[in-house]
């Protein structure tokens, strides 16, 4: 009677049941962000926990609530995965008060839209991230670096409000040492020790040399997209090769609660990564 039913193997299950997971390690990244190493308690499920760059999980703090977070770690790491979380809401505030060994709940990974790293092979890749927007693109950067020879130029532009807010410092230090990454760092409010660029990320895009078949990726605060995209377009990068991670309010992560609509699309199941072509006519998107 009901259409589109695929019979499920297990009866009495629910898509809202989280898997129990343990926080293995917590690393302070800035005053407001921490990086959590997380492993599912069920070893078989952890081994099967594979995700694609750009996907996200729903994190439950039992008794308090649930919120979506993208996964910044490498998809190749099957021992554990990471979440980079800013202390800004109920759930994120609660996990900031937790310690290694504490239990949390995980659902996912979710999202059909991811960064198409396979298609990017043999092409230039330009990644622009602002603030916490570095987290969702980290798994793409790691994926590319693990198979660096398959890609052409890799340009990473990262902007933060001030030097103390720069995330993933260890990774960035490593990138600086490599000659196969073109790295541009910029902050809005420099301190006396700051030697890199000052201003918004957008300023650094005109200086990039890239071919017209390059791929471009952007993730950051909502205000940033329009400006970055228009710079990409000036470079004649095709709209179908520009990818954006669009994050919205999500309650369920599985396309039911309807909160994360971006025009006619749902960020949780159709995204969170969209090509510019897909969303260019969706008025609310960027």
Partner 1 sequence: MLYKVLEKNGYRDFVKSLISGFEFIGPVKKDRAVHDFKVIKDFKELDTAYIRTTIPPAKKILFPPDEELVCYEIGENIDVKPVVESGEKILFAINAWDINGMNFLDRVFTTDFIDDNYKAKRDKLIVIGMDTEPAETNFSPSVGAEFATGGFDLYMHDIGDRYFIRVATARGDGLLKRYAVVKDAERNDFKEYDRYMDNYRGRFKLDVDIKSFYDDFEVIYDKKEFWENAAKDCYSCGSCNLVCPTCFCFNVKDDMELNLKKGEKTREWDSCMIPDYGLVAGGHNFRPTKENRLKQRYRCKLKTFKEKYDRYACVGCGRCIEACLANINIAEDINSVKKEVSA
- Out of 65, 76, 199, 207, the only residue in the binding site for partner 1 (CB under 8 A) is 65
Residues 6+ apart with CB under 8 A from 102: 22, 23
Q: Which is nearer to partner 1, 59 or 201 (CB)?
A: 59
CB of 79 to partner 1, least distance (A): 21
- Kindly state whether residue 16 participates in binding partner 1, applying the rule CB under 8 A: yes
Among 40, 61, 141, 224, binds partner 1 (CB under 8 A): 61
Q: What is the distance between the alpha carbons of residues 280 and 40, in angstroms, rounded to a whole number?
A: 38
CA distances from 244 to 25, 115, 155, 224, 257 (A): 30, 9, 16, 11, 22
Q: Which stretch binds partner 1 (CB under 8 A): 121-129, 156-164, 208-216, 259-267?
A: 259-267
Q: Which of residues 73-92 bind partner 1 (CB under 8 A)?
A: 86, 88-92
CB of 87 within 8 A of CB of 157?
no
Q: What residue spans of the chain are helical by DSSP H?
A: 43-48, 90-96, 134-146, 169-177, 224-234, 267-270, 276-279
Answer for the pair 72, 83: CB distance below 8 angstroms, yes or no.
yes
C-alpha–C-alpha distance, residues 122 and 54, integer Å = 20
Instruction: Give least dist CB 64 to partner 1, A.
Output: 5
Q: Using CB under 8 A, which of 9, 13, 31, 177 touches partner 1?
A: 13
208 conformational bin, left if phi > 0, alpha if psi -120 to 50, beta if neither: beta
| Interface with partner 1, residue 283, by CB under 8 A | yes
Q: What part of residues 204-233 is at the interface with partner 1 (CB under 8 A)?
A: 221-222
With binding defined as CB under 8 A, does residue 8 bind partner 1?
A: yes
CB of 25 to partner 1, least distance (A): 20
Contacting residues for 2 by C-beta, under 8 A, at least 6 apart:
none
Q: What are phi and psi of 100, to 5 degrees?
A: -60, 140
The separation between the first and the last C-alpha atoms of the chain, rounded to the nearest angstrom, is: 40
Q: Pull the structure tokens for residue 181.
A: 């990454």
Of 53 and 108, nearer to partner 1 (C-beta) is: 108
Q: Which is nearer to partner 1, 97 or 283 (CB)?
A: 283
Among 28, 42, 64, 207, the residue binding partner 1 under the rule CB under 8 A is 64
Using rule CB under 8 A, residue 60 touches partner 1? yes
Which residue's CB is nearer to partner 1, number 215 or number 274?
Answer: 274
Is residue 55 a contact residue for partner 1 (CB under 8 A)?
no
| Positions in the binding site for partner 1 (CB under 8 A) | 1-6, 8, 12-18, 20, 60-67, 86, 88-92, 103, 105, 221-222, 247-249, 251-252, 254-259, 261, 263-264, 269, 281, 283-284
């Amino acid at each position: 009677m009901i259409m589109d039913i695929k019979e499920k193997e297990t009866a009495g299950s629910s898509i809202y049941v989280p898997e129990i997971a343990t926080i293995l390690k917590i690393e302070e990244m800035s005053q407001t962000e921490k990086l959590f190493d997380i492993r599912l308690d069920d070893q078989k499920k952890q081994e099967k926990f594979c995700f694609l760059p750009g996907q996200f999980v729903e994190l439950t703090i039992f008794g308090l609530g649930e919120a979506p977070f993208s996964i910044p770690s490498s998809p190749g790491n099957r021992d554990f995965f990471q979440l980079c979380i800013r202390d800004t809401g109920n759930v994120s505030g609660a996990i900031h008060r937790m310690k290694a060994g504490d239990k949390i709940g995980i659902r996912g990974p979710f999202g059909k839209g991811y960064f198409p790293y396979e298609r990017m092979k043999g092409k230039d890749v330009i990644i622009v991230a602002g603030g916490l927007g570095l987290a969702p693109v980290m798994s793409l950067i790691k994926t590319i670096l693990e198979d660096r020879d398959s890609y052409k130029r890799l340009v990473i532009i990262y902007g933060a409000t001030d030097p103390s807010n720069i995330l993933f410092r260890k990774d960035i230090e490593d990138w600086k040492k490599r000659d196969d990454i073109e790295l541009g760092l910029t902050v809005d409010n420099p301190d006396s020790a700051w030697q890199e660029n000052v201003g918004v990320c957008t300023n650094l895009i005109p200086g990039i040399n890239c071919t017209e078949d390059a791929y471009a990726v952007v993730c950051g605060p909502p205000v940033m997209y329009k400006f970055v995209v228009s710079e990409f377009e000036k470079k004649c990068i095709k709209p179908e090769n520009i990818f954006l991670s669009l994050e919205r309010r999500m309650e369920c992560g599985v396309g039911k609660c309807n909160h994360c609509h971006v025009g006619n699309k749902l960020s949780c199941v159709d995204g969170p990564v969209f090509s510019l072509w897909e969303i260019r006519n969706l008025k609310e998107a960027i």
